[in-house]
Amino acid sequence: MVLLTAVRRNGAQLTRDQVASATSRSREFVDERARQYHKHGPPGVTPKPSGRRQTQLTLQKRQQLSKILDTGPTPESERSVFLGGDIRQIIQEHFGVVYHLNGV
């Protein structure tokens, strides 16, 4: 979008093919961005948040979790690696935070 704004300011006329080529995007992408820009102005082409939830563990807690995971499972668990359910349980037991298996 920076290119489209610069083109307008300099008075130059570029085709959508030239803009698409210069930005390594498709013509359809350029058209959609131009439509959004004309309809909503700069906010219309501002990247939106991805929709992912923020982690419930602080950086310090994530570092602690990494240390736990690096040590590996105990011999009593009869596992050679942690599985997702194991990690989920560790997070809940050590940090009191409940994650869905997909969140692990």
What tens digit of pLDDT does each residue of 66-99 get? 999 999 998 888 888 899 999 999 999 999 999 8
- Structural domain count of the chain: 2
Which of 55, 53, 41, 61 lies closest to 1 in space, CA to CA? 41
Residue 19 falls within a domain, yes or no? yes
In terms of residue numbers, what domain contains 38? 2-45
pLDDT at 3: 52
Mark whether 32 and 63 lie in a shared domain: no
pTM of the model: 0.50
Residue 52 falls within a domain, yes or no? no
pLDDT at 69: 93
Res. 1: pLDDT tops 60: no
